[in-house]
Amino acid sequence: MPDPGRPGGRADEPPGGAPGGYRPAEIEEQRGAGHRDAFMRLYTPHRMAYIRGEGKPAAGGGCPFCALVDQPDDVGLIVARGALVYVVLNLYPYNSGHCMSVPYRHVSDYADLTPDETDELATMTQRALRALRQASGAQGFNVGMNLGSVAGAGIAAHLHQHIVPRWGGDTNFMPVVGHTKVLPELLGPTRELLAAAWQEVQ
Ligand SMILES: [Zn+2]
């Protein structure tokens, strides 16, 4: 019988593990309480600052998307500025190059965008796709919006369209290269690469 609660063990493992004493299950084992189940866990400590609320507007505080535009591009990680919409790197990226198209106007609902804002949000997103392909050879993308906190929006008060580049196998290696100490060093160069590629594409 499978015993999901047995410490360090899967039912299909021989007692004592593989030759040499190495047991793959120990990689994710840690002393503690709880029942093992069928799921693997992916720990993303670099996102803890985001979950704790850093960068989110405090009650009565300012909106980071509104405050960003007053900063120099390299400080605010802004890739490009249009007339009504700008593109900025996500400070807590899911993948390298994860950026967002954002209207300058503080507006929460996509349905409330003006026709001109809607148009530029689309064209800036299209150009971001081209720039990401140019700069990084992205093979695919996840593009979309979370409208409202219940839908997963971290900063629901100011809408933003996520553009996440994808590569074959990125879900395998990104947890490794996505550690906390690596990402802050990548954001600056990533912004420079994208901003340069932005000028090369239409
Ligand atoms: Zn805002």
Over residues 59-90, the pLDDT tens digits come to: 445 899 999 999 999 999 999 999 999 999 99
pLDDT at res. 172: 52
Whether pLDDT at 28 is above 80: no
CA 38–ligand 1 middle distance (angstroms): 41
Please state the separation of Cα 77 from the chain's center in Å. 14
Domain map of the chain by residue range? 1-41, 49-200
Over residues 168-184, the pLDDT tens digits come to: 877 655 455 554 434 44
User: What strands, in cross-sheet order, belong to the sheet with 78-81?
Assistant: 78-81, 85-89, 99-103, 161-166, 140-144
Over residues 89-134, the pLDDT tens digits come to: 998 888 889 999 999 999 999 999 999 999 999 999 999 999 999 9
CA 75–ligand 1 middle distance (angstroms): 18
Which of 182, 175, 195 minimizes the C-alpha distance to 94? 175
Point out the least confidently predicted range of 31-40, 162-171, 177-186: 177-186
The per-residue DSSP string of the chain comes to ---TTSTT--TTSPTT-SGGG--GGGGG--S--S---S------GGGHHHHHTTTSPPTT---HHHHHTTS-HHHHTEEEE-SSEEEEE-SS-SSTT-EEEEESS----GGGS-HHHHHHHHHHHHHHHHHHHHHH---EEEEE---SGGGT-SSTTS--EEEEEE-TTHHHHHHHHT-TTTHHHHHHHHHHHHHHHHHH--
CA 76–ligand 1 middle distance (angstroms): 14
pLDDT at res. 82: 98
Whether pLDDT at 196 is above 90: yes
Q: In the predicted model, what is the mean pLDDT of the chain?
A: 77
- pLDDT category at 162 given cuts 50, 70, 90 is very high
- The answer to whether 122 and 106 have CB atoms below 8 angstroms apart is no
pLDDT at res. 21: 43
pLDDT at res. 30: 55
CA 44–ligand 1 middle distance (angstroms): 27
CA 169–ligand 1 middle distance (angstroms): 35
Active site residues: 160
Per CATH, domain 49-200 is 3.30.428.10: yes
Over residues 38-63, the pLDDT tens digits come to: 555 656 665 555 555 555 554 445 89
